[in-house]
Amino acid sequence: MRTAGIDVSHKTVTLCLNKDGKLGKAREFANTADGHRALLKVLKGAHIERVCLEATGTYHLELALALDDAGLALMVLNPKAAKRFAEALLTRSKSDGVDAGVLAQYAERMPFTAWQRPADEAVALRAVGRQIAALKKTRTRGRNRLHAMSQSTLTPAVVRESIEQAIAQCNAQIDALRAWADEHIQGHRKLQDAFELLLSATGIGAASAIELLGELLVLPEDMAAKQWVAMAGLDPRQNSSGTSVSKQPRLSKAGNRYLRQALYMPALSAARHDPHIRAFYLHLIEQRGLKKIQAVCAVMRKLLHGIHAMLKQHKPFDAARLCPPRPTPSGAT
């Protein structure tokens, strides 16, 4: 089998060909449209059957689209899976060329899972949602700095004014991006239908729905709810071995941090205002002894299950089915 591994970085992509188990010399191309065309020429000339690249933020997306347009069998790998595979191979060094070789071997030895191309309108909405999330972080940092400086009489007024202007600029940019997202959603029926379904859930407002849609609608349509949870890094990670190691499970966080961030405030709001979800939240704290943040994370996971069912079945959110009433313990008043 002839496979290829591609390590993607901000400016370059590194290609390594694998012909019947023999790795070739790594070659580097620019991570630009011209570089992608040159890389495709090499792949077609080598009659490559499978291509594997690692998901690297947004830097891999344009290359993945070019490979898909060329009709190549493409697999986009979770970075943690690539790391674990490299460890299994006892790889001693790490460089772009070595990483590309590891990906080429992964494509040869491991089961092939074809990359599913997301819709262009969903990719555009995700880019807007992530920019909004970045601006919100910047705004929060500015507010925290402004609060800290207000505690001192020695801070010049010009500094406070500068921070206030930066916060105002963030607010203006966030408003503009949300306005664009609203118009974009209204222009695509699939986005509009999913948006309205999300708004039917207690705790999810228009701002949260924009960020959630951008992250969820780029996922393959055949993914199960448990796969969504794992992809978001909300699945519990066990750590036990024999009789000597038995630690409390923790969230794996081996997934999409943007989706976790987008779920946090809706989960917090639902735990306060939705009676069914609040009952589930209080049960986790009072009966199972979870900390408040742990209970919120459990609500996030429940919400994600509910959103998955809602979008698959095209039905409004039903918290009563998601968190059915629990029987009252015997002897309780």
Same domain, 8 and 50: yes
Same domain, 30 and 89: yes
In three-state secondary structure terms, 2 is: strand
Same domain, 78 and 127: no
Domain membership flag for residue 323: no
Same domain, 101 and 139: no
Residues 178-232 pLDDT 10s? 999 999 999 999 999 999 999 999 899 999 999 999 999 988 887 888 888 888 8
Domain membership flag for residue 217: no
Residues above pLDDT 90, as percent of the chain? 65
Lowest-pLDDT range of 17-21, 43-47, 130-134, 329-333: 329-333
- By residue range, what is the domain housing residue 76? 2-109
Give the pLDDT score at 20: 86
Same domain, 7 and 78: yes
Residues 223-269 pLDDT 10s? 888 888 888 888 876 554 555 545 566 777 777 889 999 999 999 99
Give the pLDDT score at 242: 55
Q: How far is CA 39 from CA 6, 59, 72, 164, 271, in A?
A: 10, 16, 12, 47, 50
Residues 77-87 pLDDT 10s? 888 888 899 99
Q: Which of 101, 81, 82 is nearest to 18 (CA)?
A: 101
Give the pLDDT score at 298: 92
Domain membership flag for residue 43: yes
d(CA 272, CA 244): 39
Query: How many CB atoms are closer than 10 A to CB 249?
Result: 12
| Structural domain count of the chain | 2
Q: What is the DSSP string of 70-92?
A: TT--EEEE-HHHHHHHHHHTT--
Domain boundary among 190, 207, 241: 190
Give the pLDDT score at 128: 96
State the burial class of residue 277 (Cβ atoms within 10 Å of its Cβ: 0-12, 13-18, 19+).
buried
The model carries a pTM of: 0.76
Q: Which of 191, 188, 189, 197 is nearest to 307 (CA)?
A: 197
In three-state secondary structure terms, 251 is: strand
Same domain, 56 and 142: no
Domain boundary among 109, 132, 150: 109
Does the pLDDT of residue 61 top 80, yes or no?
yes
d(CA 122, CA 213): 8
Does the pLDDT of residue 333 top 50, yes or no?
no
Q: How far is CA 173 from CA 132, 168, 259, in A?
A: 8, 9, 21
Same domain, 171 and 101: no
| Assigned token pair, 151 | 């505690």
Domain boundary among 84, 109, 134: 109
For residue 23, give the CATH number of its domain: 3.30.420.40
Quote the mean pLDDT of the chain.
Answer: 89
Same domain, 137 and 102: no
Same domain, 92 and 41: yes
Is the separation of the CB atoms in 62 and 86 below 8 Å?
A: no
Same domain, 142 and 105: no
Region 63-68 average pLDDT: 91
Same domain, 54 and 132: no
Better-predicted residue by pLDDT, 23 or 80: 23
Same domain, 137 and 99: no
